Structure 1
């Protein structure tokens, strides 16, 4: 008794159609994965730039804070009212600049705003990276499905075509997860 299941000629056409559909899904998966990878890289660069800007604002603020504190010591020793007034104006100006470096909602470029923007870019990067990882798995499943389905034509074992179809459905489901909920599952 043979373990092979014969597929009639019409079955080969259906398997060929299955392979074509799997190949089309593979193309979409590769495009989705490439887009996710590029988005992850872009968001990583954006986050890095924002953190560098944040650090620059921190350094500037620290420098001004130190200068203001030194000038406050100088102010305490000054006796000339005109000199005291000039020193106080300079100190107040520096303190206003320090406050602007910490928070500048109108330009969205204060340290607090930069931190929020950088964390948002990192979150987007993580989502895109998770999406890319899932698309990689989808592509692998589809490639295996195509190979198994192709083997069904050669061997005549219909179970291989069903297995290829099942892998294709699993890949399709994972493709939806990658697009709609990339951080779900794993």
Structure 2
């Protein structure tokens, strides 16, 4: 005599619907995670480019400052008035350029402005990385939830469907964190 367990009427349909909802949520979590990952890479490149530009401005500034310092020494020894005037003009121009390299609000490309922009890009990158981490956890939970819910159809153990649904609810929480509070856990 073999025992055969029959699930309640419509039980498999409800579990199948749960699996479909979990699969939809999985697709959304994967899309969100991939988008956050791609944007984080773009922000990392932006920050790197801004820091490179900052370094180039620093090198140019140092070169001009050194040249101005050297010419000031030569200026002290110069006796020809016309030569002294040209040298002083050149020194003044170099010092103005050094000041412009340090801060240039009109173009937002001075060293001070580049620092702010690079740090902002790094902050956005970090937020996107945390968002991606939350989406990755949600994806894993949803994959497990789908497997567990599927097992409830095969085994007839209804509690597995509830576990699958609970994992889906937990994953939904991580998706919410990804969107609204990515650094709450990371």
Q: Distance in 1 between matches of 2:60 and 2:7?
A: 75
Q: Deviations over 1:106-136 (max 9, x none)?
A: 0000000000000000000000001111111
**What is the count of residue pairs matched by the alignment?**
183
**Residues 22, 146 of structure 1: 8 Å contact kept:** yes
Taking structure 2 as the reference length, what is the TM-score of the superposition? 0.96
Give the superposed CA RMSD: 1.2
In structure 2, the partner of 1:150 is 150
In structure 2, the partner of 1:118 is 118
**Residues 51, 114 of structure 1: 8 Å contact kept:** yes
In structure 2, the partner of 1:65 is 65
**Residues 6, 158 of structure 1: 8 Å contact kept:** no
**Residues 5, 158 of structure 1: 8 Å contact kept:** no
- SS at 2:10 equivalent: helix
Note the C-alpha offset of 1:6: 5.6
**Residues 5, 159 of structure 1: 8 Å contact kept:** no
Any runs of at least 4 consecutive aligned residues in structure 1 with deviations exceeding 2 A, and if so which?
Answer: 4-7
Q: Distance in 1 between matches of 2:171 and 2:65?
A: 57
Unaligned runs of 5+ in 2: none
Q: Distance in 2 between matches of 1:155 and 1:168?
A: 20
